[in-house]
Amino acid sequence: MSDVATPVVEEGLMTSTFIKEMLRQTRALDSYGTYDGWPTERVLAPYILTKEQRREIPVIGDPDEVTLSRVRAFYNAIAVMIESECKLIAVPMVNITHEGFGRALITVGKLVVMDRTVRDAHRFGFDSFSKMKDEGDKLLSVALEIIGKYPDVAGL
């Protein structure tokens, strides 16, 4: 993990609510305290992959557990953000096959507020921290819109 280069970060981006939650979710995966004392940029650096880095990752074989845990952390962060916004329990469910394909769902009550197909989980990542935040914010806003449209179902 120490061989990952720290990406360049825009000013103020690391203080956004979504990036803070991603940091919390990623640190939660660190049961041995490896990330203690690391800056945010270094902890979240594995989520940032250039196109060249993605091409170098083989899609043959099972995705490794570290990559799968990153996928789960991303969707867990979105679920936590939904909970903090609407005060209802959001449950993320990520199911990825050994081939790297699957689905990520977030439900609130009986309502499915997010349904994403996951392809090439081996190569899960974003071009920049800004794009990761934008994707998270986009999924969050759509989920909140759905909850606002069907509050009775979300409250079940």
Residue with tokens 């469910």: 93
CATH code for the domain of 41: 1.10.3100.20
Indicate the SS3 state at residue 156: coil
pLDDT of residue 7: 60
**Domain assignment of residue 28, yes or no:** yes
* Residues in contact with 88: Cβ distance below 8 Å, sequence separation at least 6, in sequence order: 82, 108, 109, 147, 154, 155
**Domain assignment of residue 1, yes or no:** no
Largest CA distance in the chain: 49
**Domain assignment of residue 126, yes or no:** yes
- When computed from its CA atoms, the radius of gyration of the chain, rounded to whole angstroms, is 16
Number of structural domains (the chain) is: 1
**Domain assignment of residue 103, yes or no:** yes
pLDDT averaged over consecutive 10-residue blocks of the chain (156 residues)? 56 88 94 92 95 90 91 97 96 94 96 96 94 96 97 90
Q: Alpha-carbon distance 111 to 6, whole Å?
A: 38
pLDDT of residue 151: 95
**Domain assignment of residue 4, yes or no:** no
pLDDT of residue 74: 97
The domain containing residue 78 runs over which residues? Answer: 13-154
Q: Are 37 and 152 in contact (CB under 8 A)?
A: no
pLDDT of residue 84: 96
Q: Are 35 and 23 in contact (CB under 8 A)?
A: no
pLDDT of residue 2: 46
**Domain assignment of residue 88, yes or no:** yes
**Domain assignment of residue 132, yes or no:** yes
